[in-house]
Structure 1
Amino acid sequence: MDKALIVIDYTFDFIADAGKLTCGRAGQEIDGYIAAQIRRFLEDGQAVVFAVDVHDEGDIYHPETKLYPPHNIRGTAGRDLFGVVGEVFTTLQADGLPENVRYMDKTRYSAFAGTDLEMFLRSRGISEVHLVGVCTDICVLHTAVDAYNKGFQIVVHEAGVASFSETGHQFALGHFRDVIGATVLEK
């Protein structure tokens, strides 16, 4: 096991039409691709990490409180994994998650900030992270920058990331390639 797929914030609140902070159609269109990548990584014996944003209702100290409407509130359906990705996760969870699958809460944009993600990856000899999920120019970008700073090889799946704005999405894809030397697998 030397690779990990990190599925970032693919939740109801970020993807569903009725989500509290939704990417809408752009996020919905990547559902099948992400689910296929999850299956492929598992079939190949690689690690899969579901990094899921969490907030506490009424938390006035969290910096996002001033930036965004309440979303991904602990204990709400807004945090449920969306669509086929959610179905795949539910199937995995039914028998107890395999040791190479991890579900983790994150409270900041980066999946590395305040979590034990780096320890999980390093303990398994993982040197290459593949990133999918939302939002390309927010949580995916911050996770990629942290992965770069920690010395991981980075692969971003263009067909597996989306954002609120096409401008932000395109900026992030260029940043991945040109600034942190990530491989961007084009659609």
Structure 2
Amino acid sequence: MPTATKKDYSKSHSRKLLVVIDMQKDFVSGSLGTVEAQAVVDKVVAKVIGHQGSLAYTLDTHEADYLETSEGKHLPVPHCIKGEEGHQLVDQLKEPLKDAMVFEKPTFGSVELATYIAGDETITEVELVGVCTDICVVSNALLIKAMRPEIPVLVDASCCAGTTPGNHQAALETMHSCQIEVFS
């Protein structure tokens, strides 16, 4: 079951929420890392540091039995195993996100994150950055848009990386078609 560590975000905080998706060591430089993911780390850090509002991030979270799960059978590459180095945020984001809400998720999209956003009417805009554009970013963006269809859901394409450049572009086009505001 996903777990979230939530801070007290009163109405005095900005109503814009920036969500950093899965910027974990295994997706950047580990077992599923890519050059593209490595290239967006500094941009994501700058975005987080410059954000004037609330912050949250997701952690792809698997257990030791990952290869026996449905996902593990389709993607037989152990990654983001809880308690292992690859599960951790990249070092550059640990300090900037130290006070952010954390949503661990066992699959692509965080139902708990989307439910949190749906239940907090003070949130008037959600922006997503991170990896992988074509799996977890798109899944979270669509869940959030489905649960809060009237608020802007934005994705900064320059702060995202997909499993391949082509898959990244296809996901951006899919999100745009679903009224997610994609920009760079």
- The two structures, once aligned, show a CA RMSD in angstroms of 1.7
Question: Structure 2: how far apart are the matches of 1:34 and 1:5?
Answer: 11
Runs of at least 5 residues in structure 2 that lack an aligned partner in the other structure? 1-13
TM-score normalised by length of structure 2: 0.84
Deviation at 1:103? 1.4
Aligned to 1:110: 109
Question: Structure 2: how far apart are the matches of 1:60 and 1:84?
Answer: 29
Secondary structure in structure 1 of the residue aligned to 2:159: strand
Deviation at 1:32? 1.1
Secondary structure in structure 2 of the residue aligned to 1:155: strand
Does residue 164 in structure 1 map to residue 163 in structure 2? yes
Q: Are the aligned partners of 1:4 and 1:121 in contact in 2 as well (CA < 8 Å)?
A: no
Map 1:46-57 onto structure 2 (within 5 A). Answer: 46-57=53-64
Aligned to 1:130: 127
- Determine what percentage of the aligned residue pairs are the same residue: 26
Question: Structure 2: how far apart are the matches of 1:170 and 1:85?
Answer: 25
Runs of at least 5 residues in structure 1 that lack an aligned partner in the other structure? none
Aligned to 1:21: 32
Question: Structure 1: how far apart are the matches of 2:179 and 2:117?
Answer: 23
Matched to 2:42, the amino acid is G
Deviation at 1:66? 0.6
Map 1:34-49 onto structure 2 (within 5 A). Answer: 34-41=44-51, 44=52, 46-49=53-56
Map 1:79-90 onto structure 2 (within 5 A). Answer: 79-89=87-97
Question: Structure 2: how far apart are the matches of 1:173 and 1:53?
Answer: 21
Cα distance change on mapping 1:3 and 1:118 into 2, 3 Å = farther
Q: Are the aligned partners of 1:31 and 1:83 in contact in 2 as well (CA < 8 Å)?
A: no
Deviation at 1:124? 6.1
Of the three residues 166, 178, 181, the one matched with 2:179 is 181
Aligned to 1:5: 18
Deviation at 1:147? 1.2
Question: Structure 2: how far apart are the matches of 1:148 and 1:57?
Answer: 32
Deviation at 1:83? 4.0
Give the aligned length.
168
Aligned to 2:10: none
Q: Are the aligned partners of 2:114 and 2:144 in contact in 1 as well (CA < 8 Å)?
A: no
